[in-house]
Chains A and B, each alone.
Chain A
Amino acid sequence: MVFLIPLICPALSLTPASAANPPPYAQQLIAQAREKALSSSPRWQALLHYRSNLITPGVTSEVDAVNFFLAADGKTNPQAELEATLLAFFNPSPSGPGRQPAQCRFVARYHWLKQALNFDPARLPEQPCHEFHDWITALDPQSVTLIFPTAYLNNPSSMFGHTLLRVDAKGQGDQTRLLAYALNYAAVTGNDGGVLFAVKGIFGAYPGVFSIAPYYLRVRQYNDIENRDIWEYQLNFSAAEVRFMLMHVWELRHSYFDYFFFDENCSYHLLGLLDVARPSLELTRQFRGWVIPSETVRALVMRAKLVKRVVYRPSRRTALAYRMSRLAGAQRVTVSRLANGTMTPGQLALRQLSVADRANLLEIGYELLNYKIVTRQIDKKALDTVGYRLLAARSALGYRTDAPPVPEPAVRPDQGHPTARVALGYGNMDGHWYQAIKLRPAYHDLLDPPGGYVPGAQIKFLDFTLSHLAGSNTVRLENAAVVDIVSLTPVSALKYPVSWKINAGVLRHHLTRNKNPMAMHINGGAGVTWSPLQGAMVYGMLEGTLDAGDGLDGGYALGIGPSLGVLADFSRLGRAMATAKLVRFGLGGQYTRATASMEYRVPLSGTAAVDVHFGRVREFGRGWNDTGMALQYYF
């Protein structure tokens, strides 16, 4: 052993430990760890994010940054990693990114191993970790809340949601939530957008990292700018568990995971953090394959007593829509005029209104103006002029009152119907009696129970039907939708959104009663939706369709035409939809297809429903009917 006499080094300095020359106490600790089988304990597995390999025996860590591992084979060898970690604790020299001693770099591992093996501070001195200490003191963690921003307007894909964690400090109350810090997992993508973003994200080409930001920035982004309602699920973790979880976040500082949209996304890795806080939860084990954020929230709520309390935070748009709905017609006109500046606060003052009413109208006028600016209906310069005048007039009233509470939706996103659905059907199609099985792995359509979802929004993936025609001895693929999205967003005083739809898949053309060749089918449309009364929607769209298959002249057909639809909600008594559509194919195959259909679905329980449908199709010069009913089960 060579003892180095330090000239400028810190006072406490042991011989640098090395694998070739481990200090005797290190060897002792390693032996103890082996005896206690610490490397296979759930805590160690969670800290290193080890997952059992699908095919080969053993485990692999999901962390992809090399700097996260101290052993050369640490990514696949928990024991080697544990031993290398113990050894590294004896080295006080700053190392790695962040220039910290190993005890500080891997503060969670240190903290746990110290307790599990009862470190003797005389033989393994504890390093001061100032940087970590300052950080954790600033966070001041007491508990943790899962934040779930829901869908935003006219974007059914956003129904999947997002999850992030908020670290709640000691003494933080409902009114000071904004001052907390939020922990978010996301991919670092540079300026990529569109398809490149999608492709690289699907195949793990981006690094995913955790980041921390003040919660109010998130609220601004989600609630105010994107106008998404937020649900806050306060979790039942102890202060010690939260602190340990944050120690682990500190360990991940300079590391990354390959980001995969489908299975290792924002929600998955947040569950990984919760597993670190309490390994007995084994949350990540529940999710192999596709991880949908809203499903992870459901998983947490279903665990006994894990969710303490749920708080609803309406978006600015939701609050505005609610306040507008409580105004009389004439008042709504006033508010619109205040918002677009055609009425000044001075002119409003001339009216015989109470101070309370004036205050209310000025506030709502300001909110409406703000919303129109955020949604780019009005230039933001108006905020400086019209907006400022409204606020100045409002403040001059000197009137103060509580904000009207926005009613919470009856069904939370985690309480909505499960997202996968299977159905058994029976009916008659084009003169043939048939039995059918339908399967849809995700997500929600217009007739599914709407609670917890966005009205008028539909998104379906891999929805397919297998049918058996009476008299035949084969089962055939009747149709399949790879993706099917519909967004019916009614026009309102707030905005005139364009409703739209898009879908792609395969279906069968009925050339004759027995000739039903398969065809690829792509369809898209845009139009407008109107909601004449609560729970009803009427839409009209112009749609384009491209089909490709045998039986069409030239093998394809491109067409265009109008469609009309009515959607009605009878709450407990179910939902119904009637549609009529006309497509005139002019390129390739030239013919007209007209369809009319009616469908009614009534829920039997939270997970089962009965569906009946009737449709008539006229194509290739002949007409045929499709009538049937199905029993559906959500899971």
Chain B
Amino acid sequence: MKIKLITTVVALIVAAPMTAMAQENNVGSCGWGSKLFEGQQGIAPQVLAVTTNSIFGNQTLGITSGTSGCTPNGVVSSNWKMAMFIDGNKAKLARDVALGRGETLTSLAALIGIQGEDRDTFYRVAQKNFTTIFPSESVTAGEVQASLRAVVANSAGLSKYSSNI
């Protein structure tokens, strides 16, 4: 009896690291409502993306079934790419814009198609207009995208890029 109890406890103990090892790595797909926004312990998402489905809800056997912006094959259709990038990186983008530098900001510039020295101008202009682009931390991705487009359109050297946003 006691052997059985101890064996069970041992089995549970062995199972625990297995759980830890696999569970946090067990995420899958693309889509707004992704469990990976929640983080490993159900940490509340930094970005308040509207989540309508969990990854396990919409993930069929095989490469992800699509949710908004994602094609059934996991790649993002081009007209959604900008919106999805902004939504997926909203808080980090806010930080990068405020600092005037950062990988997320650079990737956004690449997405917009900003070339050469215009990049530097873009970072500077964005930083200067931080409170316009991000009027509050709880602004939506759509609003960020629209404000960014307006700011870029109003900037002399950058207005040619505004239609890409």
CB pair B26–A186 under 8 Å, yes or no, is yes
B138 within 8 A of A: yes
Interface residue A453 (Cβ < 8 Å from any Cβ of B)? no
Partner of A193, one of B23, B75, B97, B99: B23
Given contacts A135-B73, A207-B61, contact A395 B29 (CB under 8 A): no
Looking at B101-109, B141-149, B154-162, the stretch in contact with chain A turns out to be B101-109
Q: Map CB proximity to B onto A222-246 as digits: 1 under 8 Å, 0 otherwise.
A: 0011100000000000000000000
A158 in the interface (beta carbon within 8 A): yes
B74 / chain A contacts, CB cutoff of 8 Å: 181, 211-213
Contact of A400 among B39, B44, B99, B138 (CB under 8 A): B99
- Say yes or no: B28 contacts A188, CB within 8 Å: yes
| Residue interface mask A572-612, B partner, CB < 8 A = 1 | 00000000000000000000000000000000000000000
* Shortest CB distance B14–A (Å): 5
Give the segment of A52-60, A75-83, A114-122, A383-391 that binds chain B. Answer: A383-391
Q: Does B116 contact A (CB under 8 A)?
A: no
A209-B22 CB under 8 A given contacts A388-B136, A395-B130, A400-B124:
no
Say whether A374 contacts B75, CB under 8 Å. no
B121 shortest CB reach to chain A, Å: 12
How many Å from the CB of B107 to the closest CB on chain A? Answer: 4
Interface of B, secondary structure class, is helix
Interface size class of B (residues with CB under 8 A): 35 or more
Cβ distance A544 to chain B, nearest Cβ, rounded Å: 12
Inside 8 A of A373's CB, which chain B residues have their CB? 46
Closest to B106 in A: A175
Find A398's partner among B40, B62, B111, B127 (CB 8 Å cutoff): B127
Residues of A within 8 A of B18 (CB): 157, 198, 201-202, 261
Chain A residues, Cβ within 8 Å of B21: 157-158, 160, 261
User: In this assembly, does B50 line the interface, its C-beta being within 8 Å of a C-beta of chain A?
Assistant: no
Cβ of A189 to closest chain B Cβ, rounded Å: 6
B43 A520 Cβ-Cβ under 8 A: no
Number of A residues, CB within 8 Å of B: 100
Interchain nearest-CB distance for B95 vs A (Å): 6
Identify which of residues 102-128 in chain B touch chain A, using a CB-to-CB cut-off of 8 Å: 102-104, 106-107, 110-111, 123-124, 127-128
- Which residues on B sit within 8 Å (CB–CB) of A207? 61
Tell me the smallest distance from the CB of B64 to a CB of chain A, in Å: 5
Q: A355 interface residue, CB < 8 Å from B?
A: no
**Interface residues in B10-30 (C-beta closer than 8 Å to A):** 10, 12-30
Considering only residues 165-180 of chain A, those with a C-beta below 8 Å from chain B are 175-179
Say whether, besides A157-B17, A221-B36, A226-B24, A178 and B103 are in contact (CB < 8 Å).
yes
Instruction: Please state if A198 and B19 are interface contacts (CB–CB under 8 Å).
Output: yes
How far does the alpha carbon of A218 sit from the alpha carbon of B138 in the complex, in Å?
23
Given contacts A209-B62, A400-B123, contact A186 B10 (CB under 8 A): no
User: Which residues on A sit within 8 Å (CB–CB) of B100?
Assistant: 395, 398-400
- Which of B9, B25, B40, B76 has the most CB atoms of chain A within a 10 A radius of its CB? B25
Residue A146 at the chain B interface, CB threshold 8 Å: no
Q: Report how far A213 CA is from B56 CA in the complex, Å.
A: 14
Q: Contact at B20–A157, with CB atoms within 8 Å?
A: yes
CB of A210 closer than 8 Å to a CB of B: yes
Q: Is the CB of B76 within 8 A of A253?
A: no
Alpha-carbon separation in the docked complex, A60 to B89 (Å): 44
Given known A-B contacts A179-B111, A224-B46, A483-B14, A504 and B9 have beta carbons under 8 A apart? yes
Residues of chain B within 8 A (CB-CB) of A134 are: 71
Contacts of A395 in B (CB 8 A): 97-100, 127-128, 130-131
Number of A-B contacts (CB under 8 A): 255
Inter-subunit contact A188/B17 (CB<8 Å): no
Q: Is the CB of B107 within 8 A of A139?
A: no
Most chain-B CB neighbours within 10 Å: which of A198, A266, A402, A483? A198
* Chain B contacts for A138, CB-based, 8 A: 71, 75-78
Closest chain A CB from B29 CB (angstroms): 5
CA distance A160 to B101 in the complex (A): 33
Check if A194 is an interface residue, CB within 8 A of chain B. Answer: yes
A411 at interface, CB cutoff 8 A: no
Given contacts A158-B20, A186-B25, A502-B13, contact A226 B40 (CB under 8 A): yes
* Chain A residues whose C-beta falls within 8 Å of the C-beta of B104 in the assembled complex: 178, 216
Residues of A within 8 A of B140 (CB): none
Known: A187-B22, A255-B61. A139 touches B75 (CB 8 A): yes
- Expressed in whole angstroms, the minimum distance between the Cβ of B94 and any Cβ of chain A is 6
Known pairs A178-B103, A217-B88, A225-B40; A546 contacts B46 (CB<8 A): no
Interface hits, B28-44 → A, CB 8 Å: 28-30, 34, 36-37, 39-41, 43-44
Bound complex: CA A221 to CA B94 (Å): 18
A65 cross-chain contacts in B, Cβ below 8 A: 61
CA distance A139 to B77 in the complex (A): 11
User: Is the pair A403, B101 in contact by a Cβ cutoff of 8 Å?
Assistant: yes
B6 touches A398 (CB 8 A): no
A187 to chain B, nearest CB (A): 6
Contact status B17-A209, CB under 8 Å: no
| B-contacting residues, A190-208, CB 8 Å | 190-191, 193-195, 197-199, 201-202, 207
Nearest A residue to B97, CB-CB:
A395
Which residues on the A side are within 8 Å of B2 (C-beta)?
548, 555-556
Q: A190 contacts which of B56, B91, B92, B136 (Cβ < 8 Å)?
A: B56
A218–B15 Cα gap in the complex (Å)? 26
Contact call A217/B36, Cβ cutoff below 8 A: yes
Which listed residue (B24, B41, B63) contacts A209, Cβ 8 A?
Answer: B63
Which of A201, A214, A392, A503 has most chain B Cβ within 10 Å?
A214
A380 at the interface (CB under 8 A from B): yes
Question: Distance (Å) between the CB of B92 and the closest chain A CB?
Answer: 7
Say whether B84 faces chain A, with CB atoms less than 8 Å apart. Answer: yes
A546 touches B6 (CB 8 A): yes
Residue A326, interface by CB 8 Å: no
Add 4 more A-B contacts to A209-B63, A211-B28, A387-B137 (CB < 8 A).
A198-B18, A213-B30, A401-B101, A546-B9
Q: Can you give 26 contacting A-B residue pairs, CB < 8 Å?
A: A138-B75, A157-B18, A175-B110, A194-B19, A195-B12, A202-B18, A207-B61, A209-B59, A210-B63, A213-B34, A216-B89, A220-B92, A221-B27, A253-B63, A253-B73, A254-B60, A254-B61, A370-B46, A384-B137, A392-B98, A392-B131, A399-B100, A482-B13, A483-B17, A520-B6, A522-B10
B residues at A contact (CB < 8 Å): 2-3, 6, 9-10, 12-30, 34, 36-37, 39-41, 43-44, 46, 54, 56, 59-64, 71, 73-78, 84-85, 88-89, 91-92, 94-95, 97-104, 106-107, 110-111, 123-124, 127-128, 130-131, 134, 136-138
Residues in chain A within 8 A of chain B (CB atoms): 65, 97, 131, 134-135, 138-139, 149, 152, 155-158, 160, 162, 175-179, 181, 184, 186-191, 193-195, 197-199, 201-202, 207, 209-214, 216-218, 220-221, 224-226, 249, 252-256, 261, 265-266, 359, 363, 366, 370, 373-376, 380, 383-385, 387-388, 391-392, 394-396, 398-403, 459, 461, 482-483, 485, 502-505, 520, 522, 546, 548, 555-556
